[in-house]
Amino acid sequence: MARKGENIFKRKDGRWEARYIKGYELSGKIKYGFCYGKTYKEAKEKVMRCKAALLAGTPVPAANRHRFAYYCGEWLRLEKGQVKESTYVKYDTTLTKHILPRLGGCFPLGITTQLVERFKQELLEEGLSPKTVRDILAVLHMILKYTAAQYPGIFPAVEITYPKDQKKEARVLDIDEQSRFVAYLQTDMDECKFGILLALLTGLRIGELCALRWENISLKNRTIHVAATMQRLRDYECTGGRKTKVMISTPKSDTSIRTIPLTESAVRLCGRYDPHCPAAFLLTSTEQFMEPRQVQKRLAKYTKECGLKGVHFHTIRHTFATRCVEVGFEIKSLSEILGHANTGITLDRYVHASMDMKRANMDKLAVVGL
């Protein structure tokens, strides 16, 4: 049995074995040294001499003694003052849940392309989506770039390959489903049904809808000004009790801050529910908000009662974008209304041509004899 805290054991052959930390591999794995003696005292004396010899030798440079976890923490500390709180929380969560448990114990110079590739494969094998893994690897890339600056000229080149996403066709309501859903929302309409219908008419994101106040709507100018979003985030400062909090902040990008023109039907709809209180939230007509997950629960209830399957809030946004394209919307305008950084995002993610639309375009070939 080992003496407590000393790492000295009596072996089955009767000898005593004393272990000590001789060093570390670049991966962070401990390298042990071993001393043997016929008695406990002899083994202890030998290990004490070995430890003293290590202390008397040339010390390892201070920078090389830090594990990768140290640089992760330093990078996150610097980022805190430069990014939005929501972004900081996402970085912190990514580090805590994924990067630190697997890579935090490594020494920086031991991080290789092969190690990162193995890290990526483990994340995928856990069942994380390719998009989630890409986001994690993007954070890792930023930390590696910061760490490399602390080891000028000697930090290994690490290549990161990002997993490709298998593109899935997003759920879009067809015309019949849309008509049925609109009729349902208009029956016994309350503020939440009104908000969801308005999102179908404007392409608002769920967080933008939840943060929308009546002061952001101008019936005179027939516009909605989107300048805030709402989301529930982990409360990293919480020491007990609730671990999340609802935050209202500026949208995720500058292009998400935008002014959306309203159709005549949308203006009439807003006119029916205007509480004439600028500070009131659209979804409640009071200064008390309704958060995104409450809206998601309401939407699930509405679509179930309406007989629609596989509908999420993003389905509403996808449906709006698709209807706009079907009526010949100019893509640049649609991209700005949706709050996208460029038209490529709009075309790649949000435009879904129906079979009728594809057939109508194919029929245009008749004018050139095809």
Strands (E), 106-175: none
Residues in contact with 258: Cβ distance below 8 Å, sequence separation at least 6, in sequence order: 225, 226, 336, 337, 339
Distance CA 307, CA 87 (A): 37
pLDDT-derived band at 63 (thresholds 50, 70, 90) equals: very low
Structure token digits, residue 178: 């849309």
Distance CA 299, CA 185 (A): 10
- Predicted pLDDT of residue 58: 45
Mean pLDDT for the chain?
Answer: 86
**Is the pLDDT score of 17 beyond 60?**
yes
Residues in contact with 253: Cβ distance below 8 Å, sequence separation at least 6, in sequence order: 339, 341
Q: Could you report the per-residue pLDDT of 76-133, keeping only the tens digit for each? A: 999 988 888 888 989 999 999 999 999 999 989 889 999 999 999 999 999 999 999 9
Domains of the chain: 8-59 (no CATH), 68-150 (1.10.150.130), 175-361 (1.10.443.10)
Query: What are the backbone angles phi and psi of residue 99, rounded to the nearest 5°?
Result: -75, -50
Q: Could you report the per-residue pLDDT of 219-264, keeping only the tens digit for each? A: 999 999 999 999 888 776 665 555 888 888 888 788 899 999 999 9
Q: Could you report the per-residue pLDDT of 186-195, keeping only the tens digit for each? A: 999 999 999 9
- Predicted pLDDT of residue 2: 52
Distance CA 286, CA 306 (A): 28
Helix axis angle for 130-150 and 113-125, nearest 10°, is 150
| Residue 281 or residue 52, greater confidence | 281
Residues in contact with 213: Cβ distance below 8 Å, sequence separation at least 6, in sequence order: 278, 279, 280, 281, 282
CA torsion angle 266 267 272 276 (round to 10): 130
- Predicted pLDDT of residue 35: 86
Cα separations (Å) of 229 from 233, 256, 289, 315, 356? 12, 9, 12, 18, 36
Distance CA 171, CA 311 (A): 7
